[in-house]
Structure 1
Amino acid sequence: MLTAKVPRVVLVTRPTDYQNLLAHHGTREAARFFLESRGQRIEEAESRHARFDLALQAVLSAVPLKWRRSRIDRSDLASFVFEPEDLVLALGQDGLVANVAKYLEGQLVLGINPDPEAFEGVLVPHPPAAAADLLQDAVAGRAKVEGRTMAEARLDDGQRLVALNEVFIGHRTHQSARYRIRLGEREERQSSSGLIVATGTGATGWARSIVQQRKEAPALPKPTDHRLAFFVREAWPSRATGTSLSQGLVDQQHPLELTSEMNEDGVLFGDGIEQDHLEFVWGMRAVVTLAPDCLKLIR
């Protein structure tokens, strides 16, 4: 149960396609001309924006007037200060929940799907009409909460990042990355297109596409499993580099350790957000394992 006398709902959104078109082209007419000259119609983006706006109004109306509320854009997440007992409401596609998850420390997250025709709703499973009851259930401690495992990468200088889907480690431009990799007693030097360490939530995305291309691969974890799976992409065999440690499972007792041998442009980033990366250059050491906190998703 949330213990704050006056609960605070933090509503997280991102611009719609229509809003992005207006921001880029300046006016609707300019955006319409741009799309129609390429055989597309602005009405489709307008229709999706209208559905989002209806969902937004329904969600805002669901928050009791006496409650505190804040609304932030996805781009402002890095600078926003969450309170320990905030109730986070993500209105948008599934990826929006992954975007916000890395900035939380145990706060409840309620995912609302504004457009079921466009978004699968794995992480945003609820319709706008259910928001009022779900908010009340969350405050009263009645909400069903699913704890989804997250991955953490920590560098030897103290920097860290957290991801809900996967952590990528490699060269910034996805060129050949050189590093030493260690899991338990096994260790080797590798040159590859980088590697990913995926959670059970991320098992339906990038990790799944890699597994489908391999004859043998470890079973991907489920979203609540306390383990991760790693996959090296296109490991190159040579006199100095090997390919025997190209996949496996990671848990608290068996973290994945990497030491960079890249002179420049070595990076780590989470959930596909390359702009929010950590440098991983020659000599730096990274340890990837389960994050101490999980995503607490209201089901």
Structure 2
Amino acid sequence: MALRTRAVLVHRRTELDELLDRHATRGQAEFFLRTRGRTLADVESRHEAAVSARRAVAASVPSDWALAEVERADLDRFLFAPEDVVLVVGQDGLVANAAKYLDRQLVVGVDPEPGTNLGVLVRHDADAVAGIIAALTNPPGRAGAAPSAVRCDELTMVRARLDDGQELRAVNELFLGHASHQSARYVLTVDGTAERQSSSGLIVSTGTGATGWSASIAHDRGGRRLPGPTEQALAWFVREAWPSPATGATLTEGMLGDDGELVVTVQSDRLVVFGDGMEGDRLEVSWGQEVRIGVAERRLRLV
């Protein structure tokens, strides 16, 4: 028996939702915005656009598909199924937030405000979703398959694996260091060469993230080549490595191939690993623990 396809609509609370939670009434929210040179009308307009886009996307889902909705804050508690088609209505960052919980499900990034948020990961307006869904067929035994009529990019992800089995993945980049970005001490091992370091942390970037945090670092270091989004490679940088009698600053940047790894042995208390700027969703690493960072086995399958 063929599995029933489910569309999962991922979204986040709008600014209006959060303002009303904080200020209780529209009048108080309007006063708060006015003190900052903004208007409630603009915030309400964007809220209505987001709600309208979610309704349009939901209406595009065929009647023989199941439909579920999940907010960003609940992603870590939501159970995705292999046959799901994930419809992310929001900005690029929301697609990245969802990707770490997925395992090869098809993802469609949808702009809630036509022409405003189209980017690297959000590639479609809400009006295009019906056509994309119509082109998605699910032959028996191949739930979630992408037909040739729909182009699907398989974007490389980065993963960190702790020696206790915990893992974290990211679409753009991973950060390893102190939560406050002060000096972190560790031993970094790359290709069999080890160096004890004190730095403000490591950034390990995919090609998708090569236009963000790592682009700034690469620019400051003379324009190191960064990988492409589908290239099975990662760029890594050590930030502000401090040379001293006890620490070195030789291993500060490089590229990792599909089978390469950075091995970090922690020599500080309570360092953190987080991805895509989501500091709240992180792994905590204590003295003596080992972290291995490399190309993730999973890919983001983006329509």
**Distance in 2 separating the partners of 1:120 and 1:200:** 18
Of the candidates 256, 266, 273, which is equivalent to residue 260 of structure 1?
Answer: 266
- Structure 2 residue identity aligned to 1:158: G
1:120 deviates by 3.6
Of the candidates 171, 195, 204, which is equivalent to residue 164 of structure 1?
Answer: 171
| Per-residue Cα deviation, 1:95-149 (whole angstroms, up to 9, x for no partner) | 1110000001111101111124532422110111111110121235232110000
Corresponding residue for residue 96 of structure 2: 98
- Structure 1 residue identity aligned to 2:179: R
Corresponding residue for residue 203 of structure 2: 196
User: What does residue range 224-263 of structure 1 map to in structure 2 within 5 Å?
Assistant: 224-262=230-268
1:294 aligns with 2:294: no
Contact 1:22 1:31 in 2 (8 A): yes
The percentage of counterpart residues that share the same residue type is 48
Pick closer, same or farther for the CA change 1:113–1:216 going to 2, 3 Å: closer
Which stretch shifts more, 182-191 or 148-157? 182-191
Corresponding residue for residue 51 of structure 1: 49
**Distance in 1 separating the partners of 2:65 and 2:260:** 44
1:216 deviates by 5.4
1:277 deviates by 1.0
5+ residue gaps, structure 2, are 139-146
Of the candidates 215, 222, 239, which is equivalent to residue 215 of structure 1?
Answer: 222
User: What does residue range 139-158 of structure 1 map to in structure 2 within 5 Å?
Assistant: 139=137, 141=147, 142-158=149-165
Contact 2:157 2:170 in 1 (8 A): yes
Contact 1:197 1:231 in 2 (8 A): yes
Of the candidates 277, 281, 284, which is equivalent to residue 276 of structure 1?
Answer: 281
SS of the equivalent of 2:74 reads: helix
TM-score by length of 2: 0.94
| Per-residue Cα deviation, 1:61-90 (whole angstroms, up to 9, x for no partner) | 111122100001011110111111110000
1:23 aligns with 2:21: yes
- Structure 1 residue identity aligned to 2:172: N
Contact 1:7 1:86 in 2 (8 A): yes
1:9 aligns with 2:15: no
Corresponding residue for residue 143 of structure 2: none
Contact 1:7 1:139 in 2 (8 A): no
1:160 deviates by 0.7
- Structure 2 residue identity aligned to 1:294: R
Corresponding residue for residue 141 of structure 2: none
**Distance in 2 separating the partners of 1:128 and 1:39:** 30
Equivalent pairs, count: 294
Contact 2:118 2:124 in 1 (8 A): no
SS of the equivalent of 1:152 reads: strand
1:179 aligns with 2:186: yes
Which stretch shifts more, 172-181 or 139-148? 139-148
Of the candidates 53, 68, 71, which is equivalent to residue 70 of structure 1?
Answer: 68
Of the candidates 82, 86, 110, which is equivalent to residue 88 of structure 1?
Answer: 86
**Distance in 1 separating the partners of 2:2 and 2:116:** 36
1:5 deviates by 4.5
SS of the equivalent of 1:70 reads: strand
**Distance in 2 separating the partners of 1:211 and 1:120:** 25
Contact 1:269 1:277 in 2 (8 A): yes
Contact 1:255 1:287 in 2 (8 A): yes
- Structure 1 residue identity aligned to 2:280: Q
- Structure 1 residue identity aligned to 2:157: M
- Structure 2 residue identity aligned to 1:79: R
SS of the equivalent of 1:89 reads: strand
**Distance in 1 separating the partners of 2:108 and 2:137:** 12
**Distance in 1 separating the partners of 2:2 and 2:57:** 21
CA RMSD of aligned residues (A): 1.4
1:4 deviates by 4.3
Which stretch shifts more, 286-295 or 15-24? 15-24
**Distance in 1 separating the partners of 2:184 and 2:51:** 44
5+ residue gaps, structure 1, are none
Contact 1:174 1:193 in 2 (8 A): yes
SS of the equivalent of 2:280 reads: coil
SS of the equivalent of 1:72 reads: strand
1:51 deviates by 1.4
Which stretch shifts more, 92-101 or 117-126? 117-126
